Amino acid sequence: MSLSPEARDQYVPIIDSILAKSDLNTISEKRIRKGLQEEVGYDLTPQKAVIKQLIMERFDIFAENGGIDASPEAAVATAPATNGHSSATPVEASSPAQSSKSQKRQADSVERESDKTPPVKKKKPDHDVDADALFAAKLQAEENMRARPTRGASARKVQPAKKKTTKAKTSKKVKVEDDSDVDSGSDSKKVNRSGGFHKPLTLSPALSALLGGEESLSRPQTVKKVWAYIREHELQDPSDRRQIRCDEPMRAVFKQDRIHMFTMTKILSQNLYSPDE
DNA sequence: TAGGGAAGCCATCTCTCGGA
DNA sequence: TCCGAGAGATGGCTTCCCTA
């Protein structure tokens, strides 16, 4: 199912003009489609899918051109009021008109204003902000545009502020609570997740033998017990403690003489089965 | 010196927006 | 206005290394 060239030719200028008159941060596919429908004067519902695709297409082109002012053919000469700040605005307003609920998030985003570059969670030095900010803004803008079609994607970028707490917890809390064990730790901090991670899994025979006959443990518990075993038997390589030297029982599980701690969890998961299986 | 980020697993939760 | 859907975050565990 596709749009005829004639229809496409008819729709494109209309969509472009709607985009040109709108704030790219707030406009939605639905609104554009409605506008288009009003313009053409008949119901576009049967063609909703292709229309949507076309709208997204035009939207991307607009976005890539750095906003309205850059789009040559549409050239409706509006730009500055809406996207005049080209790249700068979209960064700030990456999640456009989501005022109500997102205030909390906005506060978060203010907090972490320095790491505007979204996907990589590396901390970015604050210097070369100007050059980077520009680049980041551009990337962000592009990403926002691309993310727009998917639900909730536009605002998601604002979110990751919580990362910090997670990190703080993992390294610190682990030490504090130490062997307070997974289950007790989780409910003491009222992390009330009962499923998922804490779901008891059946251990493979080799793993069960390694852990002293345990038949069912949650994943974190399993990892923890394996580490206890490793320490108990001093199986960490002294030169690189991330490397684990496997003794016989461990070799039965991991099938290797040495294993990296990260790989260990991977292989561990292959030795854990859902009780159903 | 302290703290954060790195990989790996994955079920569940959270958030947001589109559509009816 | 409510429901459904999509995508990312979360949580638990570990050690090392780099940065502030």
Q: What is the CATH number of the domain that holds A11?
A: 1.10.10
pLDDT, tens only, A96-127: 333 333 333 333 333 333 333 333 333 333 33
Residue A158 resides in a domain: no
Residue A227 resides in a domain: yes
**Residue by residue, what is the 3-state secondary structure of chain A?**
CCCCHHHHHHHHHHHHHHHHHCCCCCCCHHHHHHHHHHHHCCCCHHHHHHHHHHHHHHHHHHHHCCCHHHCCCCCCCCCHHHHCCCCHHHHHCCCCCCHHHHHHHHHHHHHCCCCCCCCCCCCCCCCCHHHHHHHHHHHHHHHHHHHCCCCCHHHHCCCHHHHHHHHHHHHHHHHHHCCCCHHHHHHHCCCCCCCHHHCCEEECHHHHHHCCCCCEECHHHHHHHHHHHHHHCCCECCCCCCEEECCHHHHHHHCCCEEEHHHHHHHHHHCEECCCC
What does the pLDDT read at residue A151?
Answer: 31
Nucleotides of C under 7 A from a protein CB: 4-17, 19-20
What does the pLDDT read at residue A250?
Answer: 79
Residue–nucleotide distance: A248 CA to B17 C1' (Å): 54
User: What residue has token string 């004639």?
Assistant: A6
Domain boundary among A39, A64, A89: A64
Give the nucleotide nearest to A199 (CA→C1'): B11
Residue A250 resides in a domain: yes
Q: CA angle, A176 as apex, A171 and A181 as ends, to 5°?
A: 90
Q: CA angle, A120 as apex, A126 and A151 as ends, to 5°?
A: 120
Residue A203, domain CATH: 1.10.245.10
Residue nearest to nucleotide C11 (CA to C1'): A197
Residue A54 resides in a domain: yes
Amino acid at A244: I
Residue A144 resides in a domain: no
What does the pLDDT read at residue A205?
Answer: 78
Domain boundary among A64, A82, A114: A64
Quote the domain boundaries for residue A212.
Answer: 198-273
| Residues near chain C strand, CB within 7 A | A 123, 125, 150-153, 156, 159-160, 162-163, 165-166, 169-171, 173-174, 177, 179-182, 185-186, 189, 191, 193, 196-197, 219-220, 223-224, 227, 231, 236, 240-242, 261-262, 265
What does the pLDDT read at residue A98?
Answer: 33
Domain boundary among A64, A85, A113: A64
pTM above 0.85, yes or no: no
Residue A71 resides in a domain: no
Instruction: Name the domain count of chain A.
Output: 2
Residue A190 resides in a domain: no
What does the pLDDT read at residue A260?
Answer: 73
Name the stretches of chain A with pLDDT < 50.
Answer: 1, 67-195
Residue A135 resides in a domain: no
